[in-house]
Amino acid sequence: MSDRDGKLREYREKRDFDKTPEPGPAAPAPDGEEEQRPRVFVIQKHDASRLHYDFRLEVQGVLKSWVVPKGPSLSPKDKRLAVMTEDHPLAYASFEGSIPEGEYGGGAVIVWDHGTYRNLKLDDTPPQTMPEALASGHVLVWLEGQKLRGGFALIHTAGRRPGDEDNWLLIKKSDERAQPGSDIVGERPESVVTGRVIEDVKGGA
């Protein structure tokens, strides 16, 4: 079993790919020099049992994933809870559609934002790769999306309460792309791929 198969085991075990239209875990990904090239990020709005946003960053051939109940913010004052969840296959970044009710994560999914990101920790002394930044609990990335641009920090806050091991905070950095007081998830509800809102997908439009 390859390293990538190992990372995606939880993803595979939760799903029945005969029933869900979500991609299987098979898709291969390029390796080598990955820290130097722009990598994919995606935020999917997901109307599961509770509406949430799934924030995903490409790292070593998989999508590292967090569930963000309130979604991202462009205001540096907002500290958004981001609960780390299982790695997803790279192909998931373009998934938009409806997961059947009764299946894991059943409900509508739209691609709320996508684009590329850079690891700003590469500029540290010494530089930190994404796996190193994740292990240290302090990720710093520059997003180039259609709705989200600029620096964002992901900070692992685990250890404050029992059961909070997967808790991180997603926080906009104060830079020229910050928009204090804005409400980007309220202002821009639509898919960046199809223009549909989540209700369109739920209704089968």
Binding site for Mn ion (CB under 5 A): 46, 54
Q: Which is nearer to Mn ion, 39 or 46 (CB)?
A: 46
Nearer to Mn ion, 86 or 132 (CB): 86
In order of 29, 89, 101, 158, the CA distances from 24 in angstroms are 14, 7, 18, 30
Asked if 44 and 81 count as a contact pair (C-beta separation under 8 A), the reply is no
Which residue's CB is nearer to Mn ion, number 99 or number 143?
Answer: 99
Q: How far is the CB of 54 from Mn ion (least distance, A)?
A: 4
Helix, strand, or coil here: 142? strand
CB 172 to Mn ion: min, Å:
21
CB of 137 to Mn ion, least distance (A): 22
Q: How much is the CA Rg of the chain, to the nearest whole Å?
A: 17
Plot region of 61 (φ>0 → left; ψ -120 to 50 → alpha; else → beta) = left
Q: Which residue is nearest to Mn ion (CB)?
A: 46
What tokens were used for 168? 């991180």
Nearest to 62 by CA among 6, 118, 107, 20: 6
| Residue 64 CB, nearest approach to Mn ion (Å) | 14
